[in-house]
Amino acid sequence: MLYEQIQKDSLTARKERDSVKGNLLSTVLAQAKTAAIDKGHRDAVEDELVLKVIRSFLKGVHENMEFIAQGKIPPEKKESVEREKSILESYLPRQMTADELWEVISKSGAANIGLAMKYLKENFDGLYDGKMASELAKEIIR
């Protein structure tokens, strides 16, 4: 279970006095637990929910990287933001490559882009880059 793994990693980070990782993981855990309680699951936090929280945090990290590039956040924060990105990405499942996506979309038998994307969402949710999948679907289904 992903939630339990993050708990262990958070504890290890705190023991090693790695405040960036420890604080980040503690916040992820709190958000995931809150989301689980909101859904009515007090005891177990599903991996799918944890991944959703991690992706949400990654969006914020990407926004911060853009703000750094625009000069809205001091450049000395860049290293910390990049570290947060690598920590969060380490918990995401491996993403499908373009070749793997091409093969899956080709074999899906979808007659249009919408059906291809629906097939991917139903069978490979969270395992692919949506933008890349959409572009490949456009190439395959003409």
Model confidence pLDDT, tens digit, residues 50-76: 999 999 999 999 999 999 999 998 989
Residue 109 per-residue DSSP state: T
Q: Is 136 exposed, middle or buried (0-12, 13-18, 19+ CB in 10 A)?
A: buried
d(CA 81, CA 52) in angstroms, rounded, equals 19
pTM attached to this predicted model? 0.74
Residue 73 per-residue DSSP state: S
The H-or-E segment that residue 83 falls in is helix 78-89
DSSP-based three-state secondary structure for 142: coil
| Residue-by-residue DSSP string for 31-64 | HHHHHHHHTT-SS---HHHHHHHHHHHHHHHHHH
Residue pLDDT, tens place only, 67-101: 999 999 898 999 999 999 999 999 998 889 999 99
